[in-house]
Amino acid sequence: MSAPALPVTKLQIFWGFWSIIGLGVVGWASLHIGGTAAMLDDLSHGWGALAIALDLLFVAIPVVAFMVIESQRLGMRWPWIWVPLILPLPGAFVIPLFFLLRERALLRIASRQHSAKGNA
């Protein structure tokens, strides 16, 4: 017996939309970066760029930790996949993608609990 199909909710559409936008916008901008040397050169031009880069780094660490922990807690497949994915892919893509898949996992859990109550 296969599991019932999960509905597509407005929240899933929201996360999917922002994931695609994040991949398109940040991915397009990433194509125009001249490599590591150019990026380090840009960061050396002032404290503003360095502050933004450090801020993003230190926001990304707990966010990725949350993604791994929450994936394990919800029983999602491959909970550690978020660590390598965040390195080459834009966070503006990976983080909304995680929230989309998290929403689907929550619906799956709710569906199982509902069907278990119906069978009891």
Give the 3-state secondary structure of residue 25: helix
Task: Look at residue 109 and tell me if it is in a domain.
Answer: yes
Q: How far apart are CA 113 and CA 5, in angstroms?
A: 15
Residues 102, 35: contact at Cβ < 8 Å? no
Find the distance separating the first CA and the last CA of the chain, reported in whole Å: 18
Question: Is pLDDT at 1 greater than 60 in this prediction?
Answer: no
User: Is 5 part of any domain?
Assistant: no
Domain count along the chain: 1
Handedness of CA 39, 44, 49, 54 (dihedral sign): positive
Q: Do the domain assignments include residue 42?
A: yes
Does residue 25 lie within any of the structural domains? yes
For residue 79, tell me if it sits in a domain.
yes
Domain of 81 in residue numbering reads as: 11-119
Domain annotation covers residue 89: yes
Q: Is 6 contained in some domain?
A: no
What average pLDDT score do residues 2-27 get?
88
Give the pLDDT confidence score for residue 120 in this predicted structure.
Answer: 63
The Cβ of residue 25 has, within 10 Å, a number of other Cβ atoms equal to 13
The most confident of the ranges 32-36, 55-59, 103-107 is 103-107
Confidence check: pLDDT of 46 > 80? no
Q: Is the pLDDT of residue 63 over 90?
A: yes
**CA distance readout (Å), 37 to 33, 34, 40, 56, 80:** 10, 7, 5, 19, 30
pTM of the model: 0.80
